[in-house]
Amino acid sequence: MVIKKYIVKNMNEALTRIRYELGKDAIIISQRKIREAGVKGYFKPKLMEVTAALENNKLDRKNKTINYEKEENIDSFKESLNNINKIITKDENKIDKEEDKLKEEVKEIKQLLNKVIQNTNKEKEDNLIKDYLNEIDIEESVIEELDLEDYDNIDKFKESFRKLLVKDIKVSSQDLRGKIALIGPTGVGKTTTIAKLAGRLALIEKKKVGLITIDTYRIGAVEQLKTYAEIMNIPFKVVITLKEMEEAIKELEDCDVVLIDTTGRSSKNTMQISELRAFIKKINADNISLVISGTTKNRDIETILRGYSEVNYENIIITKLDETTSYGCIYNIIKKSNKEIAYITTGQNVPEDIRTPSVNEVCKLILGEDTIC
């Protein structure tokens, strides 16, 4: 049995303390009012002396309860701790996830920025390539075929373009024999080219050369070739009809080469083209060359080539290259005709200003690395 005395102000305080210290099984044995000891005690309210008792076994139980409660408290404390940990871990996970998300976003922004920078650089290079191609006079539709998006650098492009040119440019260096006809628009230099070829063949190669002209529309043109024929002392025939053509060819049968000049017919006029075709058929030419000027506007090249496609020409003679400073037209002509270059002419001097160029020379001219003269 435990007996304890409590000096308290009132019964309430006594009950609270007893319950706290001895538990709810404690019993109150006595209570009495007392005064605090000494003189001061008379001036203060009375106090209470309460005596409480608790049996020993009940005290054990109370302690156990207390311990149990303590354990319970620890458990709940642990649980709380766990919960807090969980919350913290959860928060940490959340923070980690948010950090990862942020990193990912930053990465995406970087990639996007790089792309923008690359595109801007590529655009700049694209413009450089385009400007270059315009400068050397390559036609828009030919440029479109070049797949410019494959290039992000002008030097790399030039390198590839050179390779492409070497592949595309074909030059035919023929030993001129038999009947050779020149066709093409007015004023491109057919008659002059015939005179140049006649001069080279007769004077340099010492071949037996004959001349035929069906250029009956312009008296001056006939006179022009006639004069050259007289100077070079070679036979010259003017024909107007298909029959006359047949006769002239027969008469010049013993010549090594017969050069046939034709009227500059408009490639837009199909009547004239079909007339020319009839003459060409009669001639049964060994070679037909289309003469086209290097000064022809890009948009006219296609019309001319289309116009003369009916007359099956084998190759191309590009004239007046001395009158231009950009030579992209050569490539435009090659791309659109898909024919070989037989000659280029580079001035009015007969017979000097004509030659069969090398692929490399044509390449350099087109690329703007070389000029005529």
Binding site for ligand GDP (CB under 6 A): 186-192, 264, 319-320, 322-323, 345-348, 353
Query: Of ligand GDP, Mg ion, none, which one sits near residue 41, judging by CB under 5 to 8 A according to partner kind?
Result: none
Q: What is the nearest approach in angstroms of ligand GDP to the Cβ of residue 318?
A: 9
Quick check: 213 binds Mg ion (CB under 5 A)?
A: no
Rank residues 60 and 323 by Cβ distance to ligand GDP and give the closer one: 323
Quick check: 221 binds Mg ion (CB under 5 A)?
A: yes
Rank residues 237 and 320 by Cβ distance to ligand GDP and give the closer one: 320
Q: Which segment (9-17, 36-44, 221-229, 235-243) binds Mg ion by CB under 5 A?
A: 221-229
Q: What is the nearest approach in angstroms of ligand GDP to the Cβ of residue 182?
A: 8
Whether 188 and 320 have beta carbons less than 8 Å apart is answered as: yes
Q: What is the nearest approach in angstroms of ligand GDP to the Cβ of residue 345?
A: 3
Q: What is the nearest approach in angstroms of ligand GDP to the Cβ of residue 135?
A: 22
Query: Of ligand GDP, Mg ion, none, which one sits near residue 353, judging by CB under 5 to 8 A according to partner kind?
Result: ligand GDP
Q: What is the nearest approach in angstroms of ligand GDP to the Cβ of residue 121?
A: 43
Query: Of Mg ion, ligand GDP, none, which one sits near residue 45, judging by CB under 5 to 8 A according to partner kind?
Result: none
| Alpha-carbon distances of 221 from 200, 217, 267, rounded to whole Å | 20, 8, 19
Quick check: 319 binds Mg ion (CB under 5 A)?
A: no
Quick check: 191 binds Mg ion (CB under 5 A)?
A: yes
Quick check: 345 binds Mg ion (CB under 5 A)?
A: no
Rank residues 50 and 293 by Cβ distance to ligand GDP and give the closer one: 293
Quick check: 285 binds Mg ion (CB under 5 A)?
A: no
Q: Which residues bind Mg ion (CB under 5 A)?
A: 190-191, 215, 221
